[in-house]
Amino acid sequence: MKRLLALLSTCATVVGLTVAFSPHAVAAAGCKVDYTVTSEWQGGFQAGVKVTNLGAPVDGWTLGFTLPDPGQKVVQGWNATWSQSGSAVSAAGIDWNRALATGASADLGLVGSFTGANPEPTAFTLNGVACTGSVDDETTPPDPGDGTPSGTPVGINGQVHVCGVNLCNQYDRPVQLRGMSTHGIQWFDQCYNDASLDALADDWKADLLRISMYVQEDGYETDPEGFTNRVNGLVDQAEARGLYALIDFHTLTPGDPNFNLDRAKTFFASVAARNAGKTNVIYEIANEPNGVSWAGIKSYAEQVIPVIRAADPDAVVIVGTRGWSSLGVSDGSDENEIVNSPVNADNIMYAFHFYAASHKDNYRATLSRAASRLPMFVTEFGTVSATGGGAMDRESTTAWLNLLDQLKIGYANWTYSDADESSAAFRPGTCDGGDYSGDGVLTESGALIKSRISTPDSFPTG
């Protein structure tokens, strides 16, 4: 399993490596390079690359090496700008990882193809300085899940799955995952970096990060490769901190997810194949279906889920519901349309969204009824009105959170950002300053949600 511990830049040019490397480590006075083969198949493979600077600090770096066989070709890569000319491959650092102090590392990732033999790459250099140290043939790739920080949500619970109407951990015990949702990563990319994710894991003591990738509105459809790789980078950042990563295919306008069916199949085929070995990934295949029947949503789900299952048979998939994921309440319906005609798939949950100032008793009553018959996950909610603005409704928010705790329903709050709206957790300008850990940077909503999320999880292990 790959352990890519760094955030992917949206601006990065991503291609990838194409050889099947044997597990090894190469060390030299200038740098050390560790390769971990994460998966291998006929004509292709995937690997992680860790580059450690052993020389003087650098501000801008390029890793170079040679592919010995002419059949080895660059296909895809991440966390660097990759290129290949003949047998020579280079990977250049990008904005967020271009500076490497002495002893500092950057984690990269590769997918490749090959024909014929698969010899190891040779002649590693960092900024032209040869990495000519010895090869340690005893190094072996870690088992899937190895390296996840102990004591973290993923470290304790492992691969989650649906059992009955609950989300359960590796011990088959119901768990509630609590966390935050990003805003649209096309607008608030600067809010998701080492400092902010450290704060989410260490100060907020969150269990998950929902990665909100809009499809329209200057999102995925404008740069499928760039947004896919940005999502993958955030998955890696979450994994490095022991957080679950909820990948949100954020469809909103138009509301019929079938409009994006082909895009969804392409996106989920890619991210599922890339992240299949991870234990921290959950897939949300349609954010807020609206203006579409449950039959239409169900049809979409039953076409997208098999694409995910073909690559990742074990991950939980969350299906959006009618009326902006309100179980149909916002369209004058209720949970019975799903109970009477559930999605034909295993290990799935259904999404429910609410905004506390707009959605109150009748919405809570519907979710309470549904939770006894359907596996539910609140993948998005706000403390304010459905517009994302207005005053925080503390009373309704508290009633909602108490209900979710009682029912052991997981949730992600909208949003972990400094958007100029009252639903945001941070005050405007916070993401420009880089301090996310103090209470002084929080909005009223952020302070309330942090106080709830940071209480002990007490995950059952027996």
329-333: long-range contacts (C-beta < 8 A, 24 or more apart)? Answer: 329/359, 329/362, 329/363, 329/366, 330/290, 333/294
Query: Exposed, middle or buried by CB within 10 Å (0-12, 13-18, 19+), for 201?
Result: buried
Same domain, 166 and 67: no
Segments in 124-200 forming alpha helices (H): 153-157, 194-198
In this prediction, residue 406 carries a pLDDT of 93
Same domain, 124 and 157: no
CATH number at residue 435: 3.20.20.80
Paired tokens of 131: 């990495």
Do β-strands 122-126 and 208-214 pair in parallel, antiparallel, or remain unpaired? Answer: unpaired
Domain assignment of residue 307, given as a range: 153-453
The one catalytic residue in 239, 284, 335, 380 is 380
Same domain, 94 and 185: no
CATH number at residue 99: 2.60.40.290
In this prediction, residue 333 carries a pLDDT of 96
Cβ–Cβ < 8 Å for 167, 349 = yes
- Catalytic: 380? yes
Paired tokens of 229: 């790789």
Same domain, 212 and 118: no
Q: What is the mean pLDDT of each run of 10 residues along the chain (462 residues)?
A: 28 33 38 67 68 79 85 78 87 78 70 79 81 42 52 95 95 96 97 96 97 98 96 96 98 97 97 96 98 98 97 96 98 96 97 96 96 97 94 96 95 97 97 90 97 93 80
Same domain, 447 and 350: yes
Paired tokens of 37: 């083969």
**Prior bond of 415 cis (ω within 30°):** yes
SS3 category, 222: helix
319 in a domain, yes or no?
yes
346 in a domain, yes or no?
yes
351 in a domain, yes or no?
yes
8 in a domain, yes or no?
no
Paired tokens of 379: 């993948």
Distance CA 326, CA 338 (A): 12
Distance CA 111, CA 77 (A): 6
In this prediction, residue 142 carries a pLDDT of 35
Segments in 163-223 forming alpha helices (H): 194-198
Domain count, the chain: 2
408 in a domain, yes or no?
yes
Distance CA 21, CA 33 (A): 12
The one catalytic residue in 239, 284, 288, 337 is 288
Same domain, 236 and 365: yes
145 in a domain, yes or no?
no
Non-local CB neighbours of 423 within 8 Å, separated by 6+ positions: 355, 382, 383, 384, 388, 389, 414, 415, 445
Distance CA 332, CA 56 (A): 65
Same domain, 117 and 213: no
In this prediction, residue 65 carries a pLDDT of 84
Same domain, 203 and 123: no
- Catalytic: 120? no
Same domain, 30 and 75: yes
In this prediction, residue 26 carries a pLDDT of 34
243 in a domain, yes or no?
yes
Same domain, 76 and 173: no
Same domain, 269 and 393: yes
Same domain, 317 and 390: yes
List residues bridging with 110 in a β-sheet. 47, 77
458 in a domain, yes or no?
no
Paired tokens of 322: 């009618």
Phi, psi (rounded to 5 degrees) for 369: -65, -45
Q: Indicate the DSSP class of residue 423.
A: T
